[in-house]
Amino acid sequence: MPGTATSNTNTTDERIISYLKGLRDTIVTAFQSLEPSTRFERTEWPYQGGYGGGEMSVLRGDIFEKAAVNWSGVGGETFPIADDKGPFFATGVSLITHMSNPHAPTVHMNIRYIKNEKRHWFGGG
Protein backbone atom coordinates (compact mmCIF):
# COMPACT_ATOMS: atom_id res chain seq x y z
CA MET A 1 0.00 0.00 0.00
CA PRO A 2 1.29 3.49 -0.78
CA GLY A 3 2.69 5.42 2.15
CA THR A 4 4.08 2.55 4.13
CA ALA A 5 7.69 2.53 5.31
CA THR A 6 10.32 1.22 2.92
CA SER A 7 14.02 0.53 3.19
CA ASN A 8 14.71 4.05 1.95
CA THR A 9 12.57 5.92 4.49
CA ASN A 10 13.17 6.74 8.13
CA THR A 11 11.18 8.14 11.05
CA THR A 12 11.48 11.72 9.77
CA ASP A 13 10.24 10.64 6.34
CA GLU A 14 7.30 8.85 7.95
CA ARG A 15 6.43 12.02 9.92
CA ILE A 16 6.51 14.03 6.69
CA ILE A 17 4.32 11.42 4.96
CA SER A 18 1.88 11.60 7.87
CA TYR A 19 1.80 15.41 7.76
CA LEU A 20 1.24 15.51 4.00
CA LYS A 21 -1.50 12.89 4.11
CA GLY A 22 -3.12 14.93 6.89
CA LEU A 23 -2.88 18.05 4.72
CA ARG A 24 -4.50 16.15 1.86
CA ASP A 25 -7.30 14.97 4.16
CA THR A 26 -7.85 18.51 5.51
CA ILE A 27 -8.22 19.88 1.97
CA VAL A 28 -10.53 17.01 0.96
CA THR A 29 -12.72 17.63 4.04
CA ALA A 30 -12.92 21.38 3.31
CA PHE A 31 -13.86 20.81 -0.33
CA GLN A 32 -16.31 18.09 0.65
CA SER A 33 -18.10 20.54 2.97
CA LEU A 34 -18.76 22.75 -0.07
CA GLU A 35 -20.12 19.80 -2.09
CA PRO A 36 -22.22 17.78 0.40
CA SER A 37 -24.18 15.97 -2.33
CA THR A 38 -21.12 14.19 -3.79
CA ARG A 39 -17.99 12.46 -2.55
CA PHE A 40 -14.34 12.29 -3.51
CA GLU A 41 -13.42 9.06 -5.29
CA ARG A 42 -10.01 7.80 -4.14
CA THR A 43 -7.87 5.57 -6.35
CA GLU A 44 -4.50 4.10 -5.40
CA TRP A 45 -1.75 3.79 -8.00
CA PRO A 46 1.63 2.00 -7.92
CA TYR A 47 4.92 3.67 -8.86
CA GLN A 48 6.55 1.65 -11.63
CA GLY A 49 10.06 3.14 -11.35
CA GLY A 50 10.89 1.84 -7.88
CA TYR A 51 8.69 1.51 -4.81
CA GLY A 52 5.73 3.40 -3.48
CA GLY A 53 2.77 4.94 -5.18
CA GLY A 54 0.02 7.34 -4.42
CA GLU A 55 -3.63 8.08 -3.93
CA MET A 56 -5.62 10.22 -6.32
CA SER A 57 -8.80 11.81 -4.94
CA VAL A 58 -11.22 13.31 -7.48
CA LEU A 59 -14.48 15.19 -6.90
CA ARG A 60 -17.02 16.28 -9.50
CA GLY A 61 -19.84 18.47 -8.25
CA ASP A 62 -21.82 21.67 -8.66
CA ILE A 63 -19.15 24.12 -7.45
CA PHE A 64 -16.15 22.12 -8.63
CA GLU A 65 -16.37 20.91 -12.19
CA LYS A 66 -13.43 18.76 -11.12
CA ALA A 67 -11.15 18.90 -8.09
CA ALA A 68 -8.20 16.58 -7.52
CA VAL A 69 -6.21 16.33 -4.30
CA ASN A 70 -3.40 13.82 -4.73
CA TRP A 71 -0.74 12.37 -2.46
CA SER A 72 2.30 10.37 -3.57
CA GLY A 73 5.31 8.77 -1.94
CA VAL A 74 7.88 7.20 -4.24
CA GLY A 75 11.50 6.14 -4.24
CA GLY A 76 14.07 4.04 -5.96
CA GLU A 77 17.70 3.14 -6.30
CA THR A 78 18.64 5.87 -8.81
CA PHE A 79 17.55 9.50 -8.51
CA PRO A 80 16.37 10.16 -12.07
CA ILE A 81 17.18 13.86 -12.58
CA ALA A 82 20.21 14.79 -10.51
CA ASP A 83 23.96 14.59 -10.57
CA ASP A 84 23.68 12.85 -7.19
CA LYS A 85 22.94 9.37 -8.45
CA GLY A 86 21.83 6.93 -5.79
CA PRO A 87 18.75 6.09 -3.70
CA PHE A 88 16.02 8.71 -3.43
CA PHE A 89 12.68 9.29 -1.75
CA ALA A 90 10.00 11.85 -2.63
CA THR A 91 6.55 12.60 -1.25
CA GLY A 92 4.08 15.37 -1.85
CA VAL A 93 0.56 16.68 -2.27
CA SER A 94 -0.84 18.30 -5.39
CA LEU A 95 -4.11 20.17 -5.76
CA ILE A 96 -5.90 21.00 -9.01
CA THR A 97 -9.34 22.62 -9.23
CA HIS A 98 -11.49 23.57 -12.18
CA MET A 99 -14.56 25.45 -11.06
CA SER A 100 -17.98 25.16 -12.69
CA ASN A 101 -18.17 28.96 -12.81
CA PRO A 102 -16.14 30.03 -15.88
CA HIS A 103 -15.25 33.31 -14.12
CA ALA A 104 -13.66 31.58 -11.12
CA PRO A 105 -9.94 30.89 -11.41
CA THR A 106 -8.39 27.48 -11.91
CA VAL A 107 -5.93 26.49 -9.17
CA HIS A 108 -2.86 24.26 -9.30
CA MET A 109 -0.43 23.97 -6.40
CA ASN A 110 1.86 21.39 -4.91
CA ILE A 111 4.20 20.84 -2.00
CA ARG A 112 6.86 18.17 -2.04
CA TYR A 113 9.74 16.75 -0.06
CA ILE A 114 12.67 15.15 -1.87
CA LYS A 115 15.77 13.51 -0.48
CA ASN A 116 18.76 11.61 -1.77
CA GLU A 117 21.95 10.44 -0.08
CA LYS A 118 23.50 13.94 0.05
CA ARG A 119 20.64 16.36 0.76
CA HIS A 120 16.93 16.87 1.27
CA TRP A 121 14.61 19.77 0.56
CA PHE A 122 11.02 20.97 0.35
CA GLY A 123 9.65 22.57 -2.79
CA GLY A 124 6.38 23.45 -4.38
CA GLY A 125 4.60 25.76 -6.67
Which residues form the catalytic set? 108
Distance CA 46, CA 26 (A): 23
Residues 36 and 59: beta-carbon distance below 8 Å: no
Distance CA 77, CA 67 (A): 33
Distance CA 98, CA 77 (A): 36
How many C-beta atoms surround the C-beta of residue 9 within 10 A? 20
Burial 92-108 (b: 16+ CB within 10 A, else e): bbbbebbeeeeeeeeee
